[in-house]
Amino acid sequence: MAAHESTYEPKSRFAKWMDDRLPIGRMVHDQFVDFPTPRNLNYLWTFGSILTFFLMAQILTGIVLAMHYQASAADAFDSIERIRRDVNYGWLLRPLHAVGASMFFLAAYIHIFRGLYYGSYKAPREILWIIGVLIFVAMMATAFLGYSLPWGQMSFWAVTVITNLFSSLDDLISGLGTTVVQWLWGGYSVTGVTLTRFYSLHYLLPFVIAGLVGMHIWALHVVGQNNPTGLELKTKSDAVPMHPYAISKDAVGMFVFLIVFLWFVFFLPDYLGHSDNYVPANPMVTPPHIVPEWYFLPYYAILRAIPSKLLGVIAMFSSIGILFFLPWLDTSLVRSAKYRPLYKWFFWLFVFTCVALGYLGSKPAEGAYIFWARVFTIYYFAHFLIVLPVLGLIEKPKKLPGSITEDVLGPEGTAAAAAAGKRG
Amino acid sequence: MKKLVSTYSISAIMATVISLVATAPVFAAGEHVPQHVERLDWSFAGVGGQHDRAQLQRGFQVFQQVCTACHGLKYVRFRNLSESGGPQFPVEAVKGLAASWPYQITDGPNDEGKMIERLPGLADPIVGPYKNDQEARAVQGGALPPDLSLIVKARTVESHAPWYTHWFWMLADIATGYEEAGANYLYALLTGYEEAPAGAEMGEGMYYNLAFPGHQLAMAPPLSNDNYIEYQPDAGAKGSLDQNAKDVTAFLAWAADPSLDARKKLGWQVLLYLLITTLLLYAVKKRVWARAKN
């Protein structure tokens, strides 16, 4: 789609002069104004814009918070309280950033599941998908590092538990795990040294994400957007220009999502957090249940479902790593679940599995909880390794419409649109 | 044929799932007496909730006359007591309060290089009796009375709802803007002292409390039906264990989140703006897309 003909015409002498030297105006016009977007995109396709907004908002609120935050074991907790109590509008700034992280993940999950439902990872969008998974991994790292900064009990113990995972590498090569963990900690235990380096990395990674997002959008504009039919753009009437069509729709989607976001910020600023993080970090007292933020719960359930520590760690990382191979695990030639009568069911079963793992991750690892965590962990991997490869071979897809236009306007409408196209 | 195969495979999976459900170990019910915490309707709860100034003033009275014997409030400064959204005592009264506070502030070093003890002023934190945790433990027989500035935010009640109703409770809380578990817990703790039931093995110097996890608490009952704080006749309520517990909990909820009133007021303005803008944007979108239909 990047190959669509440029319709940019510089309007002023300066624009013309600039266009001959650095055609940034042409790029913006061709990629974000006149860019052809499928005419049948639903509101699930507004989450790309929503995510871009959240990345920028997080960076902005984060930069201001960094002006008031103290990254040392002695001062971190107090400095958060100072932000909440004494900094002008600090009581608003802090939940904007903390709740913002949660909402960033909520939007990312909707975006990812939309891709799963409509087969947005299939050729020619494999690289687009893989960059997306890389962004997701970088987001998780950033969120984990950021969660350590308030230096409350849950911050401290989350850092302790997660960094300690690497000690399981000792089972592979004796001493390797211990070395890695000490290198991460900057010492022999989690201390202020660990906090300071985590702060440094927490400030760095968002800019890495921004770079990856640039590549994600670049790749998207090369292959073009997928859409609910999963069909490629064939005729001119299949697409509408990004401005004003897609943009006006994105604006609606974004504002609806903002309502949800700010509902939490103003009325439930601590609902998504853990009360233990209002207790200052104390290496001598372990909280009864150490749980991560809600968006990490499914992986935490997988980690704890497996009796061996090393294998649990491997399973947890594989649960995300497997996403990189998704374009080749799904053997179906049809993209959209709309035309895949069986996949549709398995998609929702997979959603249920992820939610169930999330619920189980929030519960203590004992009795029935651990049993069910194992059942759903097995199904999680079976979905990718068995269901998707087999389904593509045995499923009989429904009849696909001839084109996007036909899907929207029906056969007569398509004929009319074609005729209009010829007249025009 | 393929359709038949797929129908069969789905029913096979369903059957497997159902048999797994049937044979799954039963979720362990609470082994002993569960934590007893009621869900209360606080004036500051919910999307429209605001603090009741008279209640915060009564709550401060309870805090001052009961809690300060052991606890401090180090993130709250005396000046905060006169700010809007809080108890809003007159500034002069707060100045007098600070100047007569029973505990002193360690300051310095002075020009001679010595640390000094002085009375707190408006800008100083509401300190408790102990200079540090070690002193507190030494005096309290090993137990540490925590600072109460954040106690309401730092406590919660674990949900014991079964997995199939859990989601509805969560959604109800989100829809009504209810995140008052910490306040519910504190109220339940203050009113939850009882005689230990027969058979309960109590540690030395421990008190039986229905709300406390494990039911053994080192804090002696700070309030009781025979020992509670009487209010002034114009305080808006009559003193009782129940009323004292509610008031001091509300006060500590304010101490943990002093911007609650301002936050919820601004919240409605922001949401109203967002709602109107969303409707306008939707109208714009409708008009723009009407052109694409043809």
A204 contact partners, CB below 8 Å, separation of at least 6: none
A371/B24 touch (CB, cutoff 8 Å), yes or no: yes
Smallest CA–CA distance, residue A53 to chain B, in Å, is: 16
Q: What is the pLDDT of residue B97?
A: 97
With respect to residue B242, please indicate whether it lies within any of the assigned structural domains. yes
- What's the pLDDT tens digit per position in A324-340? 999 999 999 999 999 99
Domain locations in chain A?
28-409
d(CA A39, CA B46): 42
Q: CA dist A146 to A97, A134, A182, A250, A375, Å?
A: 10, 18, 20, 29, 32
A278/B154 touch (CB, cutoff 8 Å), yes or no: yes
Residue of B nearest to A416 (CA): B294
Q: What is the pLDDT of residue B33?
A: 63
Q: What is the pLDDT of residue A421?
A: 67
d(CA B291, CA A345): 36
CATH code for the domain of B239:
1.10.760.10
Q: What is the pLDDT of residue A414?
A: 82
**Nearest CA-CA partner of A251 in B278, B276, B283, B275:** B278
Residue of B nearest to A268 (CA): B177
In chain A, residues with a C-beta closer than 8 Å to the C-beta of B266 are 92, 266
Residue-by-residue pLDDT tens, chain B, 294 positions: 444 444 445 454 444 444 444 444 444 333 456 678 999 999 999 999 999 999 999 999 999 999 999 999 999 999 999 999 999 999 999 999 999 999 999 999 999 999 999 999 999 999 999 999 999 999 998 999 999 999 999 999 988 889 999 999 999 999 999 999 999 999 999 999 999 998 888 998 899 999 999 999 999 999 999 999 999 999 999 999 999 999 999 999 999 999 999 999 999 999 999 999 999 999 999 999 998 875
- CA-based torsion, A160, A165, A171, A173: positive or negative: negative
Q: What is the pLDDT of residue A413?
A: 81
In chain A, residues with a C-beta closer than 8 Å to the C-beta of B272 are none
Residue of A nearest to B77 (CA): A85
Q: How many domains does chain B have?
A: 1
B10/A342 touch (CB, cutoff 8 Å), yes or no: yes
Residue that is written with structure tokens 């039919």 in the block:
A229
Smallest CA–CA distance, residue A132 to chain B, in Å, is: 28
Smallest CA–CA distance, residue A134 to chain B, in Å, is: 31
Residue B251 main-chain phi, psi, to 5 deg: -60, -45
| Three-class HEC string of chain A | CCCCCCCCCCCCHHHHHHHHHCCHHHHHHHHHHCCEEECCCCHHHHHHHHHHHHHHHHHHHHHHHHCCCCCCCCCHHHHHHHHHHCCCCHHHHHHHHHHHHHHHHHHHHHHHHHHHHCCCCCCCCHHHHHHHHHHHHHHHHHHHHHHHCCCEHHHHHHHHHHHHHHHHHHHCCCCHHHHHHHHHHCCCCCCHHHHHHHHHHHHHHHHHHHHHHHHHHHHHHHHCCCCCCCCCCCCHHHEEEHHHHHHHHHHHHHHHHHHHHHHHHHHCCCCCCCHHHHCECCCCCCCCCCCCCHHHHHHHHHHHHCCCHHHHHHHHHHHHHHHHHHHHHCCCCCCCHHHCHHHHHHHHHHHHHHHHHHHHHCCCCCHHHHHHHHHHHHHHHHHHHHHHHHHHHHCCCCCCCCCHHHHHHHHHHHHHHHHHHHHC
The residue segments making up the domain with residue B100 are: 53-189+232-258
Q: Does the domain at residues A28-409 carry the CATH identifier 1.20.810.10?
A: yes
d(CA B8, CA A295): 35
Residue of A nearest to B14 (CA): A349
Residue pair A185/A191 in contact (Cβ under 8 Å)? The answer is yes
Residue of A nearest to B25 (CA): A368
Q: Give SS3 for B211.
A: coil
B215 contact partners, CB below 8 Å, separation of at least 6: B32, B33, B196, B200, B208, B209
A248/B285 touch (CB, cutoff 8 Å), yes or no: yes
Smallest CA–CA distance, residue A259 to chain B, in Å, is: 6
A252/B275 touch (CB, cutoff 8 Å), yes or no: no
In chain A, residues with a C-beta closer than 8 Å to the C-beta of B274 are 255, 258-259, 262
A231 contact partners, CB below 8 Å, separation of at least 6: A238, A400, A401, A403, A404, A407
Residue pair A218/A399 in contact (Cβ under 8 Å)? The answer is no
d(CA A33, CA A43): 19
pTM of the model: 0.93
Q: CA dist A248 to A107, B243, B276, Å?
A: 19, 54, 15
Q: CA dist A319 to A102, A300, A384, B161, Å?
A: 20, 11, 10, 29
With respect to residue B201, please indicate whether it lies within any of the assigned structural domains. no
Plot region of B207 (φ>0 → left; ψ -120 to 50 → alpha; else → beta)? beta
* ipTM for the complex shown: 0.93
**Nearest CA-CA partner of A105 in A55, A165, A44, A67:** A55
Residue of A267, A277, A290 to mutate, interface with B, max B Cβ within 10 Å? A267
Strand B105-107, strand B116-118: pairing: antiparallel
B177/A263 touch (CB, cutoff 8 Å), yes or no: yes
Residue that is written with structure tokens 């055609």 in the block:
A23
In chain A, residues with a C-beta closer than 8 Å to the C-beta of B259 are 84-85, 91
DSSP code of residue B28 = P
Q: What is the pLDDT of residue B292?
A: 83
A67 contact partners, CB below 8 Å, separation of at least 6: none
In chain B, residues with a C-beta closer than 8 Å to the C-beta of A269 are 263
Q: What is the pLDDT of residue A72?
A: 96
**Nearest CA-CA partner of B250 in B40, B79, B35, B48:** B40
- What's the pLDDT tens digit per position in B250-267? 999 999 999 999 999 999
- CA-based torsion, A197, A199, A203, A209: positive or negative: positive
- What's the pLDDT tens digit per position in A10-68? 999 999 999 999 999 999 999 999 999 999 999 999 999 999 999 999 999 999 999 99
Please name the helix (run of DSSP H) or strand (run of DSSP E) that holds residue B291, with its range, or none: helix B260-293
What parts of chain A have a pLDDT lower than 50? Answer: 1-2, 424
With respect to residue B118, please indicate whether it lies within any of the assigned structural domains. yes
B35 contact partners, CB below 8 Å, separation of at least 6: B157, B158, B188, B210, B211, B212, B213
